[in-house]
């Protein structure tokens, strides 16, 4: 039986999608499911999003898109990261769409599609200032002029990505949107029209209505989080994941003895500690050692000693905690809650990383209205 699990609340997942739809109206949704659905299990969350009629699923890599196809997904999928030229056959065979960021890729994909008498569908990615993906704005027209007479390349979308949409006090997102609008207008004046124009990520959906265009790309918001807790509250989002384990050992530690590797913690009194079978190999960052708390029986307890690869220790002195008791790393237990923002701040990170870093040996347990399903492997296929 699984001891450490990531519990996924499917009702909250659907609720968050509905909150996004309330923000954007009836325009299409591209639901981001990259990085194993931000750690929530890509196959399972994708099936839920499909039942909720999202237009697209978005992934980072072609391997993620292929995984979805191999598990029965037949809808539209967009790969965001620029692919290799040799990936063209996979895009063709699996009917997957790409974000074009490189003229070399446009040429290589056009050549291979022509050789196979096939069509590759893509979205023109414009770099409006983030300098990670996309063509410079000045090159957008030249790319479209190149593909306009190439029947084997079908560009259906125009897109960019906002670097600071979670910080509206910074005017950089406005500058990006202004640059994007100039590209869109110039392309339209040249006779190029796109079914899907998209720029808004989760924070862009909340803070920049003008960035909604004809499709939006929510990611972290679907899983009940945002870059800040305040922004999550603005959209009335609900956390989807609870990370929990159990006490597997209860040990007595004499005063003056060390706990864990490297002698980072010394017992200042006779202590009782609980050993919990989760460590940095499961996604609990080692820099939280001696610095974070967990919930047991609705009460906060301090971690002690260095986080190990597979275990960590908790001070339960003067308590009635016993072997087998549930341990919540983040989530609610009774009237108490430790949210993912707390762990993110303590580990000098962001909430995205805390869930995305949870490894594959942590089972994902999905809570539906009337039953639970455990998915213990990244590529397991099962019926909802």
Tens digits of residue pLDDT in 328-384: 999 999 999 999 999 999 999 999 999 999 999 999 999 986 566 776 443 333 333
Which residue out of 34, 76, 150, 244 is catalytically annotated? 34
pLDDT band at 168 (very low <50, low <70, confident <90, very high): confident
CA distance 151 to 136: 24
Domain stop point among 187, 222, 257: 222
Percent of the chain scoring above 90 in pLDDT: 94
Range of the domain at 310: 241-338
pTM: 0.94
> Do 204 and 256 fall within a single domain?
no
Whether 51 shows a pLDDT value over 50: the answer reads yes
pLDDT at res. 2: 77
Q: Is there a single domain that holds both residue 137 and residue 59?
A: yes
Query: Between 140-147 and 103-115, two packed helices, what is the crossing angle to 10 degrees?
Result: 10
* Cα–Cα nearest to 318, from 330, 343, 301: 301
- pLDDT for 370 equals 59
**Residue 174 falls within a domain, yes or no?**
yes
- Looking at 189, 222, 255, the residue that finishes a domain is 222
Q: Which of 146, 234, 238, 261 is catalytic?
A: 261
Q: Is residue 55 part of a domain?
A: yes
Average pLDDT over residues 292-310: 98
Same domain, 115 and 251: no
For residues 266 and 159, state if they share a domain. no
Quick check: is 65 in a domain? yes
Asked about 348 being catalytic, the answer comes back as no
Q: What are phi and psi of 76, to 5 degrees?
A: -75, 135
Same domain, 209 and 320: no
Q: Are residues 218 and 246 in the same domain?
A: no
* 23, 205 Cβ separation under 8 angstroms: yes
**For 100-143, what is each residue's pLDDT tens digit?**
999 999 999 999 999 999 999 999 999 999 999 999 999 999 99
pLDDT for 59-104, tens place per residue?
999 999 999 999 999 999 999 999 999 999 999 999 999 999 999 9
3-state secondary structure of 105: helix
Are residue 183 and residue 262 in the same domain, yes or no?
Answer: no
Q: Considering the domain boundaries, does residue 365 fall inside one?
A: no
Q: What percentage of the chain has pLDDT greater than the value 70?
A: 96
Q: Is there a single domain that holds both residue 14 and residue 133?
A: yes
Same domain assignment for residues 264 and 332 = yes
Q: Which helix (H) or strand (E) holds 31?
A: strand 30-32
Q: Does some domain include residue 318?
A: yes
CATH number at residue 203: 3.20.20.10
Residue 146 lies in a domain: yes
Are 201 and 303 in the same domain? no
When divided into structural domains, the chain yields a total of 2
Q: In terms of domains, do 215 and 321 share one?
A: no
Is there a catalytic annotation at residue 280? no
pLDDT score of 292: 98
How far apart, in Å, are the Cα atoms of 174 and each of 157, 168, 202, 205? Answer: 21, 9, 16, 14
- Give the Cα separation of 40 and 21 in Å (integer): 21
> Residue 199 pLDDT > 60, yes or no?
yes
Residue 101: closest CA among 71, 81, 120: 81
Task: Strands of 206-362 (E only): list them.
Answer: 241-246, 249-253, 271-276, 293-296, 299-304, 312-315, 326-333, 336-338
Is 356 contained in some domain? Answer: no
Q: What is the CATH number of the domain that holds 306?
A: 2.40.37.10
358 occurs within a structural domain? no
Query: Is residue 217 located within the same domain as residue 310?
Result: no
Domain boundary among 303, 323, 338: 338
């Amino acid at each position: 039986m699984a001891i450490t699990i990531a519990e996924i609340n499917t009702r909250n997942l659907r609720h968050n999608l509905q909150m996004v739809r309330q923000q954007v109206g009836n325009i299409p949704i591209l639901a981001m499911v990259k990085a194993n659905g931000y750690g929530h299990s890509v196959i399972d969350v994708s099936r839920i999003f499909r039942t909720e009629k999202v237009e697209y699923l978005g992934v980072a890599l072609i391997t993620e898109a292929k995984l979805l196809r191999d598990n029965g997904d037949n809808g539209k999928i967009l790969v965001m990261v620029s692919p290799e030229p040799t990936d063209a056959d996979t895009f063709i065979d699996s009917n997957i769409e790409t974000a074009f960021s490189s003229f070399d890729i446009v040429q290589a994909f056009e050549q291979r599609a022509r050789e196979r008498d096939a069509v590759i569908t893509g979205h023109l990615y414009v770099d409006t200032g983030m300098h990670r993906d996309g063509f410079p704005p000045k090159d957008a027209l030249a790319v479209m002029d190149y593909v306009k007479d190439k029947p084997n390349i079908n560009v259906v979308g125009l897109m960019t990505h906002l670097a600071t949409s979670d910080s509206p006090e910074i005017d950089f997102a406005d500058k990006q949107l202004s640059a994007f609008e100039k590209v869109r207008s110039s392309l339209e004046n040249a006779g190029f029209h796109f079914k899907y124009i998209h720029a808004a990520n989760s924070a862009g959906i909340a803070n920049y209505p003008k960035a909604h265009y004809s499709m939006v790309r929510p990611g972290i918001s679907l899983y009940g989080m945002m870059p800040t807790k305040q922004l999550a509250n603005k959209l009335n989002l609900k956390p989807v994941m609870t990370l929990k384990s159990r006490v597997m050992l209860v040990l007595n530690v004499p005063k003056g003895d060390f706990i864990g590797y490297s002698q980072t913690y010394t017992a200042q009194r006779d202590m009782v500690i609980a050993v919990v079978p989760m460590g940095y190999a499961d996604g609990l960052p080692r820099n939280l050692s001696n610095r974070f708390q967990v919930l047991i029986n609705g009460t906060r307890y301090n971690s002690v000693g260095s986080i190990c690869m597979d275990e960590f220790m908790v001070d339960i002195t003067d308590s009635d905690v016993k072997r087998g008791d549930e341990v919540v790393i983040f989530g609610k237990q009774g009237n108490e809650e430790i949210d993912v923002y707390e762990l993110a701040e303590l580990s000098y990170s962001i909430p995205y990383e805390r869930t995305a870093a949870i490894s594959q040996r942590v089972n994902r347990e999905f809570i539906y209205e009337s039953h639970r399903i455990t998915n213990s492997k990244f590529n397991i296929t099962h019926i909802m």
